[in-house]
Structure 1
């Protein structure tokens, strides 16, 4: 096999059919996720430090802190805050913390890190940045945190709006001081 010159030149006819059909991803990589109200959002993968299923008993509540904050966790020796993203964005539904684990997305910008507790994780998706549109019908309370939205069309399901959040605006928000 190694002596075969076509092994190194990548002759496609020797590849399995399912490998020949793979396409190069286009666009940017985003993590899709859901808030307790089942609203779906996305964050750019470039702003995500880590995604984890955090045991609820490992989130330490801190007295006299913002009601948006669930507490702190130890992330590889560094103590970081974990916030209820749904409450931060004004989601009417309450995050279920009465379960073994909560999905947490650790976002970062420069030296600042924050864990965002969400209802459930979605999938990673390549989305074309050129198709990102200005947000429409966005509640005023979340306008500063929405970068844009995609209109996702699928033959098998109705048109869906996917809002993209600005992780830097979330990290640097004055709401955390309230």
Structure 2
């Protein structure tokens, strides 16, 4: 692992494009990233502890775990679980690509640190939470929708799905998720 970047720091109108609101309590900051080739995603910044670069060679596999849990790494002297987010959501999965490194978005769950492994981290974006739209049944597969809290339409008229960390955790500690 090398560089660590510390990150601790129903529409209200007919216009569905997320715009700045006048009330600051309606704003929420998100970290943007892409899952696979095309799924443009967001994760609430408030949930993130840091992002780190992860070498796949550093991941120690743990037998008899959910296939999406790649194993553990040592981060700050503690065992940190590494989750292949694309695989969990029904995609090909990160380790089935030619990549040797990725980015881990770290968050706390039940006193454990978990790193969601993705290709690269995007930008920090701010959206009015009142403009978060519910997922429609025709949008994406059931599997993908099961891990989403909703979506925004950005200024370029592109959808930006919001990852629901609680649903991801439920899938991992509940019944095993199969591809």
TM norm structure 2: 0.73
What is residue 162 of structure 1 aligned with on the other side?
A: 160
2:105 corresponds to 1:105? yes
* Structure with more helix by fraction: 1
Deviations 1:57-95 (A, max 9, x none): 22112233322122111121110210110010112x342
Could you tell me whether the CA contact under 8 Å between 1:85 and 1:117 is conserved in 2?
yes
Counterpart mapping for 1:1-178 below 5 A: 27-91=27-91, 93-95=92-94, 98-136=98-136, 137-154=139-156, 159-174=157-172, 177-178=175-176
* 4+ residue segments displaced more than 6 Å: none
Unaligned residue ranges in structure 2 (runs of 5+): 1-23
Change (3 A) 1:167 1:113: same
- Using the size of structure 1 for normalisation, the TM-score is 0.74
3-state DSSP of counterpart to 1:172: helix
1:88 and 1:94, CA in 2 relative to 1: closer, same or farther beyond 3 A? closer
Aligned partners of 1:102, 1:176: CA distance in 2, in Å? 26
What corresponds to 2:6 in structure 1? none
Q: How many residues align?
A: 150
Give me the whole-angstrom Cα distance separating, in 2, the residues matched to 1:176 and 1:114.
16
Gaps of 5+ in 1: 1-24
Between structure 1 and structure 2, the one with the greater Rg is 1
- Give the secondary structure class of the aligned counterpart of 1:65: coil
Name the SS for the 1:138 alignment partner: coil
Task: Please tell me the root mean square deviation across aligned C-alpha atoms, in Å.
Answer: 2.3
List per-residue Cα deviations over 1:98-147 (Å, max 9, x = no partner). 44421111122352432111122111111111111111213211333211
